[in-house]
């Protein structure tokens, strides 16, 4: 196959590529946003000085989703719960059934819980590495516990967690390629579809790799800019 035909695999299927790009971006972006919302209170609880019984549910959740592959989690949610739930009497009559029968809610649920588990550990580590001198100085200034928490600990933890969270976003982006196993047409799903149509593996998958690389470079540049802004006083 010559270069002319190679280029046409991309240009003739441009709407398909754009749709796959959009599918990847909104799926990963929404999963990260919801996962971060769950992870912040979980991370704060893990770092808190309280009885271990309060932490056990969050610890179990964290170890479960960090200790198993994301692909296995996706299979459990989509091929396990997602398909079995349709056999439960009365479920097909629910107003939510048109949503539950689709693939993307189960894929997103597995992504949300996975990134929440990893991000909660990032938050915990960032809080626990707060310099003791900063806390002692805040106490010397007469700050209350809540003032120390919201003015010293959490803002500092956010700055320290930023590089690790940037890596988590990149890992989630790359891990989202497994969404194609649940019939979603993300970037990898589009590449696989074009491969089955043309029997030409290099162009579709090289194009997919180029798209993932471009998104990754944009994320790296964005987080470097944010880090410089937040640390400009240092």
Containing domain of residue 169, as a range? 3-230
Residue-level pLDDT at 233: 66
Q: Return d(Cα 219, Cα 223) in angstroms, integer.
A: 6
Residue-level pLDDT at 107: 93
Backbone angles phi, psi at 107, to 5 degrees: -65, -45
Q: What is the CATH number of the domain that holds 61?
A: 1.10.3720.10
Q: Return d(Cα 218, Cα 49) in angstroms, integer.
A: 38
Residue-level pLDDT at 229: 85
Q: What is the CA radius of gyration of the chain?
A: 22
Q: Return d(Cα 209, Cα 214) in angstroms, integer.
A: 9
Q: Return d(Cα 161, Cα 39) in angstroms, integer.
A: 12
Kindly state the tokens that stand for 164.
């690790």
Instruction: Give SS3 for 184.
Output: coil
Residue pair 110/74 in contact by the 8 Å Cβ criterion: yes
Q: Return d(Cα 189, Cα 183) in angstroms, integer.
A: 7
Q: Return d(Cα 198, Cα 6) in angstroms, integer.
A: 10
Residue-level pLDDT at 83: 74
Residue-level pLDDT at 5: 60
Residue-level pLDDT at 12: 84
| Domain tally, the chain | 1
Closest CA to 230 of 157, 169, 131: 157
pLDDT digits (tens), the chain, 234 positions? 555 466 777 888 899 999 999 999 999 999 999 999 999 999 999 998 887 888 999 999 999 999 999 999 999 998 888 777 877 777 787 888 888 888 899 999 999 999 999 999 999 999 999 888 888 898 888 888 788 888 888 888 988 999 999 999 999 999 999 999 988 999 999 999 999 888 888 889 999 999 999 999 999 999 999 988 887 766
Residue pair 73/114 in contact by the 8 Å Cβ criterion: yes
Non-local (6+) Cβ contacts of 110 within 8 A are 70, 73, 74, 76, 77, 78
Residue-level pLDDT at 67: 95
> What is the CA angle 146-147-148, rounded to 5?
90
* Length in residues, the chain: 234
Residue pair 204/10 in contact by the 8 Å Cβ criterion: no
Residue pair 38/112 in contact by the 8 Å Cβ criterion: yes
Return the number of other C-beta atoms located less than 10 Å from residue 218's C-beta.
10
């Amino acid at each position: 196959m010559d270069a002319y035909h190679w280029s046409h695999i991309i240009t003739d299927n441009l709407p398909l590529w754009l749709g796959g790009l959009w599918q990847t971006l909104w799926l990963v972006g929404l999963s990260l946003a919801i996962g971060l919302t769950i992870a912040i209170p979980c991370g704060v609880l893990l770092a808190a000085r309280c009885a271990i019984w309060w932490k056990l549910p969050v610890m179990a959740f964290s170890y479960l989703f960090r200790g198993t592959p994301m692909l296995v989690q996706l299979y459990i949610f989509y091929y396990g719960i997602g398909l079995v739930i349709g056999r439960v009497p009365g479920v097909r009559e629910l107003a939510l059934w048109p949503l539950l029968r689709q693939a993307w809610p189960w894929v997103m649920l597995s992504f949300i819980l996975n990134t929440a588990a990893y991000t909660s550990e990032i938050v915990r580590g960032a809080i626990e590495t707060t310099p003791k001198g900063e806390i002692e100085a805040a106490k010397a200034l007469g700050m209350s516990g809540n003032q120390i928490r919201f003015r010293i600990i959490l803002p500092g933890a956010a700055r320290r967690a930023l590089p690790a969270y940037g890596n988590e976003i990149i890992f989630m982006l790359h891990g989202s390629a497994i969404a194609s196993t649940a019939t979603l047409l993300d970037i990898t799903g589009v590449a696989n579809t074009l491969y089955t149509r043309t029997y030409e593996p290099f162009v579709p998958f090289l194009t997919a790799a180029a798209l993932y690389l471009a998104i990754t470079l944009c994320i790296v540049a964005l987080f470097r800019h944010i880090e410089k802004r937040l640390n400009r006083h240092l």
